[in-house]
Structure 1
Amino acid sequence: MKLPSHEVADLGLAQAGVRRVDWAERSMPVLRSVRERFAEERPLEGLRVAVCMHVTAETANLLRAMRAGGAEVWLAASNPLSTQDDTAAALVSECGVSVHAWAGMDTAAYDRNLVTILESRPHLLLDDGCDLVNTVHLLRPDLLDGVLGGCEQTTTGVIRLRRMSAEGELRMPMVAVNDTATKRMFDNRYGTGQSTIDGILRATNALMAGRTFVVAGFGYCGRGLAERARGMGARVVVTEVDPVKALDAVMQGYTVTTMDEAASMGDVFVTVTGNRDVITAGHLARMRDGAVLANSGHFDLEIELDALARMAVEVNPGVREQADEYVLADGRRLLLLSEGRLVNLGAAEGHPAAVMDLSFAVHALTTAWLAAHHAELEPGVVEVPDATDTEVARLELAALGVGIDSLSPEQEDYLRSWHV
């Protein structure tokens, strides 16, 4: 079999990758049912799809569904550290996906790979952080006329897309897959909460019970992380800029304060804001010896890494896998995990497959809907149809063996009427 275009670490890892992908599929019954439907209906027949996502076993199962639906798929990584090299090899050798990604690539290679997959002249874009959309707008605007639209997976990416749209710069319809109820509930809350703790434990083997755990940002990701940290016995401190979210954290029993105050209190700090410079030089100067710094926001900008490097008189890289130690002039040691990039993917394996099952089922069904309805859509940020979110929730309940009530005709009539 002629292999598709690819740049991966080692095609010899393909069989190990197949085992990993098949194992993940066991926990992804909803996406499996979507793939079976796609194989029959072929909703993506003849379409080229460029994908910028984490190259993991869960993503591989999404791309299997895309291929079953008739799509030609090109994949680049959405994070330099998150690629599973065996999964990348399996996608090339066994699934016919063009993959340009490997673990530990530098920034130049990361950027180059985004440009490479755009050489496919894609009809649809699947993005994770808006990097691919930015690249096509800034570097390959000649391709925009051929792009029907795309889907965005992350909070950070949707924020960037809304800014582009507000400034009149977004030249295609982009569906905010991140903003569905099932995605926020499962992926952002339960997925980020568990996988971030997993990454911290793998990188440090630290005891969470009795530690002061600082969560910067109390959106869906921050809430899930705070819940999991508290469940492990940590004292959780939340920092926020949004009064409503801060009040929510207070009412849930968390200590809420400023990062200026929290800096001298915390043992573990995790940023999940989607913004930059959340932990600055001033905060680093107040931290205790041995403080752990981690990020579960999308980009490596939330911790002021340049300031940390300037303040250090000694850097001990790799004191543990995915952990670098920075020694300050007064002897305090700060431990940075996964180079300030996503700790749940750099130091662990990302969200459990059962979590990504729902997110990627929404993504697959939305991509098929977009392929069918793109001509009806204007450039800008588009919401996922409510029916898609509801369908995925019903499929998951069925997979769990859970039954729910349904409205009677009389109840439906009552809800539609203003008469008592």
Structure 2
Amino acid sequence: MEQFERARLDSYFNRVAAQFMSEETPESFLITHLLPERPSFVKAVDTVSNLRAVLPKPKSIDATARREVERFTQCDELSRELFSTPETCLDYVESRAGGQSLVLLDVGGYFAPALDVLCDRFSGRVLGVVEDTENGHKRYAERDKLPCPVVSVARSPLKDPEDFLVGQSVVFSTEALMRDQGDILNGRHALVIGFGKLGSSIARLLHAKAVRVTVYDIDPVRRAQALSQGFTVARDRESALKGAGLVLCATGAVSLQGDDFSGLRNGAYVATVTSSEDELDLDGLPNIYSRTPTGDHVTRYQTTGHYFYLLNDGNAVNFIHGASVGPFIFLVQAEILAGIRMLTRGDLGPGMHEASANDRAGIAATWLNYFNR
């Protein structure tokens, strides 16, 4: 990022932070993809809250960005294990922010397993959670009862541009890795599993590249939507897998179980839009498969008479090339700052919440002033 671009970005976040400052300043923890442009957003979080620690997603950390963030706040190691055991999570939060009013900024529902214990036994007060992703939204929304407010930006209209462009970046990275192997998209039959915002974006771009696309989704409403947009819709996943030379997984809810891999067409490529543990049951893959790297970020899984290629070890393939969606990500990050103010006011009851239309309109107007040039 050029210096003038960083200055503009810092100015934008200063303006947004001023818009969403509260009379009282809570403590916060931030889980985030620590990409090259992210320090400006992290500084804004530290402006509207006292940022106790950043927990970068381990497979998306830019070293320069981390060094910049560490100049003004703590960076801790993020793992599912840290938050899957409530006692471990409680000990960690107490060590960083004991006795304080606290906002948890989440990407993927990391805090969900320990939330009851945190709200009940933390020496301070958990004001609530701001969740950024659809996977995390589901983890919180599927609970019978939430012990605190959860402000979700996952389904915000301000996130639509990001979701669309993430789908485009997934196709770009998939095609780049295939070309490194001497293959191309053209002539392959692609299966897109999941027809949400990311999956539909992926399907449309593949179709624009003259790829034959079949869609599978467990939701009949989404299957009907895919059919109305001209895609072939698979009646069942197993038969669709057999004919696909490229499988793109976009559900966040385990698209492929261990036994499914043996049903892949020989030479098929498999790519995902999220972390491998969320999308693929690789631990359930039969041990008869050997694993051989065949290039950067490409692994051939092979057994007698069968082989397939896994891209980026099953993790989000677009992060290989930076996962950039341009300035549109800053819309969503501004709404996260709005979520902090919503929780700090203390007038939200336990349950799922969203930012107001007025807040979103204000964010969009500010964003357009800086980036519609």
Q: How many Å separate the matches in 1 of 2:252 and 2:299?
A: 23
Q: CA distance change for structure 1 residues 319 and 152 in 2, over 3 Å: closer, same or farther?
A: same
Q: How many Å separate the matches in 2 of 1:286 and 1:35?
A: 52
CA contact (8 A) 2:186 2:210 kept: yes
Q: How many Å separate the matches in 1 of 2:63 and 2:23?
A: 27
Residues 377-414 of structure 1 deviation map (CA, whole Å, 9 limit, x = unaligned): 11111122121222223334444549xxxxxxxxxxxx
The structure whose residues are more often strand, as a share, is 2
CA contact (8 A) 1:215 1:226 kept: yes
Q: How many Å separate the matches in 2 of 1:261 and 1:179?
A: 32
Identity %: 20
Q: How many Å separate the matches in 2 of 1:47 and 1:139?
A: 16
Partner residue of 2:296?
321
Please give the residue correspondences for 1:4-43 in structure 2 after superposition, counting only pairs within 5 Å. Answer: 25=6, 32-38=11-17, 42-43=21-22
- Gap regions ≥5 residues in structure 1: 1-18, 403-420
Q: CA distance change for structure 1 residues 392 and 41 in 2, over 3 Å: closer, same or farther?
A: closer
Q: How many Å separate the matches in 2 of 1:204 and 1:243?
A: 32
- Gap regions ≥5 residues in structure 2: none
Q: How many Å separate the matches in 2 of 1:390 and 1:71?
A: 26
Q: 1:46 Cα shift?
A: 4.0
Matched, 1:149 2:128: yes
Moved over 6 A (4+): 109-115
Q: 1:139 Cα shift?
A: 7.2
Q: How many Å separate the matches in 1 of 2:41 and 2:198?
A: 22
Matched, 1:85 2:63: yes
Q: How many residues align?
A: 363
Q: 1:181 Cα shift?
A: 1.2
362, 383, 386: which one pairs with 2:354?
383
TM-score scaled by structure 2?
Answer: 0.86
CA contact (8 A) 1:126 1:152 kept: yes
CA contact (8 A) 1:324 1:335 kept: yes
Partner residue of 2:322?
349
Matched, 1:363 2:336: yes
Greater mean deviation of Cα atoms: 52-61 or 170-179: 52-61
Q: What residue identity is the alignment partner of 1:279?
A: L
Please give the residue correspondences for 1:5-404 in structure 2 after superposition, counting only pairs within 5 Å. Answer: 25=6, 32-38=11-17, 42-43=21-22, 46-69=25-48, 71-78=50-57, 80-93=58-71, 96-101=72-77, 116=92, 119-121=95-97, 123-137=102-116, 141-143=120-122, 145-164=124-143, 167-168=144-145, 170-183=146-159, 185-188=160-163, 190-205=164-179, 206-257=183-234, 258-276=236-254, 278-297=255-274, 300-312=277-289, 314-316=290-292, 318-330=293-305, 332-345=306-319, 347-371=320-344, 373-374=345-346, 376-399=347-370, 401=372
CA contact (8 A) 2:37 2:65 kept: no
TM-score scaled by structure 1?
Answer: 0.77
**SS state at 2:96 partner:** coil
**SS state at 1:230 partner:** helix
